[in-house]
Amino acid sequence: MLCARKGFPDPVELVAPIDELTEARVRAMFGQIRDNKMTADEALAALRAGGHRLGASVKLWRLDDVIRWADGVGRKMQIDDRS
């Protein structure tokens, strides 16, 4: 199983996890909106409050983390575009 290999990224534990990349994107988005009804800090607080812990049987990974891992170990990612 791929996720059991040492060095593979840890799975996401929270739905709507707020990492540095997500926070930077939210702040950038709010920097472009002219008539903000809320601040970027308020939006991030709402995202954090809305995140809930996933059960132990659910395993999800952020695509950015998997791509970085694949690049680091010399693996080529294949995109499955089935919808």
- pLDDT tens readout for residues 12-37: 776 766 778 888 988 898 888 777 78
Neighbour-count burial for 9-40, b at 16+ CB within 10 Å, e otherwise? eeebeeeeeeeeeeeeebeeebeeeeeeeeeb
Q: What predicted TM-score, i.e. pTM, was given to this entire model?
A: 0.46
Average pLDDT, the chain: 78
53 has pLDDT over 80 = no
pLDDT band at 1 (very low <50, low <70, confident <90, very high): very low
Strands (E) in the chain, as ranges, are none
Percent of the residues in the chain that have a pLDDT greater than 70, as a whole number: 84
60 has pLDDT over 80 = no
